[in-house]
């Protein structure tokens, strides 16, 4: 799984934002053609956070834009090295974005 952090486009012009989205669409298309793309979604900012044994509910999470999780992809890769190589095409590196790469564990139930 790729977890996308940062890559804030809010400071870009509408035209530059659209150009950045085209990079994303091209990346998804490439991954689909390679049969690597499984699923993915963008996440809206905000939400709710529940924490602790008392299950305290707060608005948030409110991270700085550079730390906010903006979305995720689930991809097919043979191992962590291959997933890391695939992640190097992440379109938001030029916007100081980060990709966290995590292995998904499948449980038989």
Average pLDDT, the chain: 92
Give the pLDDT confidence score for residue 92 in this predicted structure.
96
What is the Cα–Cα distance from 65 to 98, expressed in whole angstroms? 12
- Report the CATH number of the 2-101 domain: 3.30.70.1060
Helices (H), the chain: 14-33, 80-87
pLDDT of 64 reads 66
Beta strands in 6-102 (DSSP E): 37-42, 48-51, 56-59, 69-75, 98-101
Compute the average pLDDT of residues 32-39: 98
Element (H or E) spanning 8, and its range?
none
On the question of pLDDT at 45 being above 90, the answer is no
Whether the ω angle into residue 61 lies within 30 degrees of 0, i.e. cis, is yes
Q: How far apart are CA 1 and CA 53, in angstroms?
A: 28
pLDDT(60) > 80: no
Residue spans of the domains in the chain: they are 2-101
pTM higher than 0.95: no
């Amino acid at each position: 799984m790729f977890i996308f952090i940062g890559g804030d486009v809010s400071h870009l012009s509408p035209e530059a934002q659209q150009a950045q989205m085209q990079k994303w669409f091209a990346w998804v298309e490439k991954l689909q053609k390679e049969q690597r793309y499984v699923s993915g979604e963008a996440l809206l900012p905000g939400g709710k956070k529940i924490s602790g044994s008392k299950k305290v509910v707060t608005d948030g999470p409110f991270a700085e834009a550079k730390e906010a999780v903006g979305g995720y992809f689930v991809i097919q890769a043979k191992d962590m090295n291959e997933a890391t190589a695939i992640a190097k095409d992440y379109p938001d590196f030029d916007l100081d974005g980060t990709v966290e790469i995590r292995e998904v564990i499948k449980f038989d139930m």
